[in-house]
Chains A and B, each alone.
Chain A
Amino acid sequence: MLSLPRNVFLVARREYLEQIRGRAFRMSTIGLPVLFAVIFAIAYGSSMGIGTNKRIVVASSNAALANDVREELVRGKGSSSHVDVVSSLTPEKRAALIREIQARSLDGLLWIETPPGKPPAATYISKSAGEFMTSARLNDALNNGLVEEKLTGGGMTAAQANAVTKGIPIVAYQIKSNGSVVKSNAEASFWKGYVMAILLSLTTMIYGMNVARSIIQEKTSRIFEVMLATVKPADMLAGKLIGVGAVGLTQIAIWLAAAVVLMASPFAAAMQSGQLSLHFSWFEGVLFPVYFVLGYLLYSSLFAGLAATCETEQELQMYMPLAAAPTWLSFALIVLIMNDSNSVISVAASLFPPTAPIVMFLRMASEIPPAWQFGVSIGLLILSIWAVLWFSSRLYRIGILMYGKRATLPELMRWLRYS
């Protein structure tokens, strides 16, 4: 059992108990996952519904083609579009339809001209410019319609032609490092990695900020010097980091426990069988707290040093974008990592301490990286935590007794030299 100096333990215990009893802890423990579920549901739900549920008119002098296109549009999964067919292509009719679009009683007009001896030309007219999802669906529908039209023209039956244009889904399998072959689900693993990375960065940031805020509060309440009569600055800092970190771990433990309970419930069975089967392994269950602790220690010790040099929370805000930059960088790399989790950049980002926790989870979404990479990333994280702590504890030691104004950069340099 690791034994803490008595004062470190006392400071940590106070910090832990005060925060656990606080309303903010209860709110965020319950509120954060709920908020997540809602945002997730909205994002997922709205991406499913894009390009559907429209009232569209397909106009073509070739009635068979128009009907084929119509069928393609209506057939689409989850489509609730209402599609009408018009086969007389007169300028008057076109003008009338455009007026309807202006009046919003019609969402769009697909105008297909099939001049003899020339390739067909199609235009789509609608009120809004940015319907790229809709136009993708229209493109598919029109091209499939044209192919079917050609095939039936060449003597195939409608059913035969239909069978040709119907796409074949590809079933993807993934070979795990232990040799087992499992059905992979790119979409589900993307979401899983994404969710875990966001949770990790959120908790890391929240608790890193928490440390900073608590230091600022102690500074504004002028309690530091009272404390310093018994506690060494380094012990105070250590106690605070441990106490707040323990609060974070408690919160994650509550979430994990809730997740285990949820997984065992009928609700989870439904979710697993659905398209979005999220399955969390024990490996992830262990690594998540480990990377949380490391990421948290890295950020919070950095914030702690900065916070000690500030006088108010407003001043601290100034540093926040700087401190949050690695998180942004991690998420900026998301497409790259998801596409090739073993590219040089992906591997480098998962070893680079500031981005390591988040990027590692993004990589794990598609494939479990080799053990040495975990080892190196954790080793580098520990080294950099040590370095940041060295730097921060110096700023902290002097900063907590400086009142009146925020320290300038030359002053900070002097503090580092002195202590």
Chain B
Amino acid sequence: MPVVELVGVTKAYESKVAVHQLSLSINAGQMFGLLGPNGAGKTTSIRMMMGIIMPDSGQVKLFEKPFERRSLDRVGYLPEERGLYKKMKVLDQLIFFGELHGVSAGDASKRARDWARRLEIADALDKKTEELSKGMQQKIQFIGSILHDPGLIVMDEPFSGLDPVNAVLLERTLLEMKDQGRAILFSTHRMDQVEKLCDSICLVNNGEAVLSGRMREIKSRYERNHVIVEFEGSASFLNSEEIAEAKNFSGHAEIRLKPHGDAQKLLHQASAVATIYRFELVEPSLEEIFIRSVGGKPDAVVAA
């Protein structure tokens, strides 16, 4: 059951087309990654889901209904440009956000305390925002966006600005929420994170979806033709006719097979001349896939 759906959505500004004929859909219990370089149209797409920008054509559906503002009470949104009221007490602020989403002040206060405990910032609640560190403000912001227990969580670059410890904490929290059946969409330009967390992705470039679908499905479209071998003994198997290209870093070899090269045959050849500690047939990384799909350089994609 799709929780959010974009159907052929297009949005043009005066000087350029920000999003062109974009379609995607996210189901409950799914973690969805929206990937692409800055200016690719990620934020515009997200803003259209949130009704902040209206699409020129195409349709946005939330919870299987055409977009209506009422549905937003079931959506948690963490925008890329985010902030808090500096002079306001953190707890008051969270209650305010909760109330705006239709949660009663009492419930909002209770949930805020629960979440603050889970995210290890319970003592921040009685302070003013301006007294908090940046990382703490990020967590408060996150709590503010999920206090009303939304069925869909939309986050624009949620990991930017978080230190590794807190990034892991956020990843864990998101995975838990996914397991509870919520749909989660986040945008990022970090491929490794998406690779680790997401079930489905949509890769956008210049406002168009370059690649989209379930992660496994996408990866299975590409041949597993990379092999990593860790070994001791003769390296003569690296001259095998199955291999197109090989790099040997004294006992650690990275190999690209020829098209239709046989990995099993190579394993036999290798084990005949050397002791094998590791022989792994790896799938191409998302980064490589993206580069192949757009035919560009990785820098053009990853650069923030």
Query: A residues within 8 Å of B by Cβ?
Result: 6-7, 10, 14, 18, 22, 217-218, 221-232, 401, 403, 414
Query: Smallest Cβ distance from A104 to chain B, in angstroms?
Result: 55
In the complex, B83 has a CB within 8 A of chain A: yes
**CB nearest to A226 among chain B residues:** B82
Question: What are 19 A-B pairs with beta-carbon distances under 8 A?
Answer: A6-B102, A7-B100, A14-B88, A14-B96, A22-B87, A225-B80, A225-B81, A225-B82, A226-B77, A226-B78, A226-B97, A226-B144, A227-B100, A228-B52, A229-B145, A230-B72, A230-B100, A231-B100, A401-B52
The answer to whether B85 and A10 touch across the interface, beta carbons within 8 angstroms, is: no
The answer to whether B73 and A230 touch across the interface, beta carbons within 8 angstroms, is: yes
> Which residue in A10, A224, A225 is a CB contact (below 8 Å) of B99?
A10
**CB nearest to B144 among chain A residues:** A226
A225-B88 contact, Cβ under 8 Å, with A7-B100, A10-B100, A230-B101: no
Query: Smallest Cβ distance from B286 to chain A, in angstroms?
Result: 28
The answer to whether A225 and B79 touch across the interface, beta carbons within 8 angstroms, is: yes
In the complex, B75 has a CB within 8 A of chain A: yes
Q: Mark interface residues in B82-113 (1 if CB within 8 Å of A CB, else 0).
A: 11111110000000110111100000000000
The answer to whether A221 and B86 touch across the interface, beta carbons within 8 angstroms, is: yes
In the complex, B14 has a CB within 8 A of chain A: yes
From 16 to 35 in chain B, residues with beta carbon under 8 angstroms from any chain A beta carbon are none
In the complex, B69 has a CB within 8 A of chain A: yes
**CB nearest to A401 among chain B residues:** B52
A222-B75 contact, Cβ under 8 Å, with A10-B96, A10-B99, A401-B52: no
Candidate in B72, B82, B97, B100 with the most chain A CB atoms within 10 angstroms = B100
In the complex, B45 has a CB within 8 A of chain A: no
In the complex, B50 has a CB within 8 A of chain A: yes
Query: B residues within 8 Å of A by Cβ?
Result: 14, 50, 52, 69, 72-73, 75, 77-88, 96-97, 99-102, 141, 144-145
A414-B14 contact, Cβ under 8 Å, with A226-B77, A226-B83: yes
Task: Determine the distance from Cα of A18 to Cα of B77 in the docked complex, in whole angstroms.
Answer: 24
Interfacial chain A residues near B101, Cβ < 8 Å: 230
The answer to whether B50 and A18 touch across the interface, beta carbons within 8 angstroms, is: no
Query: Smallest Cβ distance from B134 to chain A, in angstroms?
Result: 13
**CB nearest to A228 among chain B residues:** B52
Interfacial chain A residues near B86, Cβ < 8 Å: 217, 221
Closest 3 CB pairs of A and B: A222-B83, A229-B77, A225-B79
**CB nearest to A221 among chain B residues:** B83
Query: Smallest Cβ distance from B182 to chain A, in angstroms?
Result: 16
Interfacial chain B residues near A226, Cβ < 8 Å: 77-79, 82-84, 97, 141, 144-145
Interfacial chain B residues near A232, Cβ < 8 Å: 69
Task: Determine the distance from Cα of A22 to Cα of B128 in the docked complex, in whole angstroms.
Answer: 13
> Which residue in B52, B79, B87 is a CB contact (below 8 Å) of A18?
B87
Interfacial chain A residues near B88, Cβ < 8 Å: 14, 18
Task: Determine the distance from Cα of A231 to Cα of B83 in the docked complex, in whole angstroms.
Answer: 15
The answer to whether B79 and A229 touch across the interface, beta carbons within 8 angstroms, is: yes
Query: Smallest Cβ distance from A411 to chain B, in angstroms?
Result: 9
The answer to whether A403 and B52 touch across the interface, beta carbons within 8 angstroms, is: no
The answer to whether A223 and B72 touch across the interface, beta carbons within 8 angstroms, is: no
The answer to whether B81 and A222 touch across the interface, beta carbons within 8 angstroms, is: yes
Candidate in B75, B83, B87, B97 with the most chain A CB atoms within 10 angstroms = B83
Query: Smallest Cβ distance from B42 to chain A, in angstroms?
Result: 14
**CB nearest to A11 among chain B residues:** B100
Query: Smallest Cβ distance from A401 to chain B, in angstroms?
Result: 7
Interfacial chain A residues near B96, Cβ < 8 Å: 10, 14
Task: Determine the distance from Cα of A231 to Cα of B141 in the docked complex, in whole angstroms.
Answer: 17
Task: Determine the distance from Cα of A261 to Cα of B102 in the docked complex, in whole angstroms.
Answer: 43
> Which residue in A22, A231, A403 is a CB contact (below 8 Å) of B81?
A403
The answer to whether B85 and A223 touch across the interface, beta carbons within 8 angstroms, is: yes
Task: Determine the distance from Cα of A232 to Cα of B52 in the docked complex, in whole angstroms.
Answer: 9
Query: Smallest Cβ distance from B4 to chain A, in angstroms?
Result: 14
Interfacial chain B residues near A231, Cβ < 8 Å: 100
Q: A218-B83, A222-B83, A229-B50 are in contact. List 19 more A-B contacts (CB 8 A).
A: A6-B102, A10-B99, A10-B100, A14-B96, A18-B87, A22-B87, A221-B83, A221-B86, A225-B80, A225-B82, A226-B141, A228-B50, A229-B52, A229-B75, A230-B72, A230-B73, A230-B101, A232-B69, A401-B81
**CB nearest to B75 among chain A residues:** A229
Interfacial chain A residues near B79, Cβ < 8 Å: 225-226, 229
Interfacial chain B residues near A227, Cβ < 8 Å: 100
